[in-house]
Amino acid sequence: MNPLVIDLAKRLLGQNLQLHLQNGIINPPDNYHHQAAWHRDLPYQDWVISKPLAINAFYCLTDFTNTNGATFVLPYSHRSDFFPSEKFVIENELQIIAPKGSVIFFDSMLFHRAGYNTSSDVRIGVNNMFVSPIIKQQINIPQAILEKYHIDELSDEEQLILGFKFQLANNVVEYRKRRTNKS
């Protein structure tokens, strides 16, 4: 809910957006990391779009250094509908060196990967992916939240970000009732 992050996400995605997923990154020394291959976070998509549909806010909980496997990105690759040549990758890949507490913000279609950790320390981060609500959540976050919280404990803004406002109607009547209430 960091207001700077939410504000930036809204500038890019519009006022209606939801959290698609959160994943923790634990990159231990001298270990293959399963995110070490180039990928987009809207996975397996070989198209591009003129405006972002999804944005990552990747919180660095430790320093991200050139020895502990800091994230590599391929600049501008979110604008390419195919994976670039090996030559392009070698010449353009960029490692994001960032101190603990930084947030790396990028279009989720940008090709990126974890680096190999040759240091003696674990690299840790939390990735938050925000999407236009036409993209569904990876898990049903509202349902998971309601196992612990009552909806009244959440502000309107929290309900929006967590996806409460974009749940599927269970049937046509429910859908029409929602539309009527809106108007």
Query: Closest separation between CB of residue 112 and ligand AKG, Å?
Result: 5
152: Cα within 13 Å, side-chain hemisphere: 0
Name which of 18 and 108 has its Cβ closer to ligand AKG.
Answer: 108
Q: Does 138 bind ligand AKG (CB under 6 A)?
A: no
Q: Does 71 bind ligand AKG (CB under 6 A)?
A: yes
Name which of 41 and 107 has its Cβ closer to ligand AKG.
Answer: 41
Residue that has been written with the tokens 């806010």 in this structure: 57
Q: Does 54 bind ligand AKG (CB under 6 A)?
A: no
Q: Does 112 bind ligand AKG (CB under 6 A)?
A: yes
Q: Does 137 bind ligand AKG (CB under 6 A)?
A: no
Cα–chain-centroid distance for residue 150? 26
Q: Does 128 bind ligand AKG (CB under 6 A)?
A: no
Query: Closest separation between CB of residue 142 and ligand AKG, Å?
Result: 22
Q: Which stretch binds ligand AKG (CB under 6 A): 22-30, 139-147, 157-165, 175-183?
A: 22-30
Q: Which stretch binds ligand AKG (CB under 6 A): 20-28, 73-81, 133-141, 142-150?
A: 20-28
User: How many other C-beta atoms can be found within 10 angstroms of the C-beta atom of residue 123?
Assistant: 25
Phi-psi region of 138 (alpha: psi -120 to 50; beta: other; left: phi over 0): alpha
Q: How far apart are CA 130 and CA 162, in angstroms?
A: 10
Residue 139: C-alpha distances to residues 18, 167, 182 (Å): 12, 12, 26
137-142 long-range Cβ contacts below 8 angstroms, 24+ apart? 137/18, 137/19, 137/20, 137/21, 137/163, 138/20, 138/21, 139/21, 141/18, 141/19, 142/167
Q: Does 41 bind ligand AKG (CB under 6 A)?
A: yes
Binding site for ligand AKG (CB under 6 A): 23, 25, 27, 35, 41, 71, 112, 114, 127
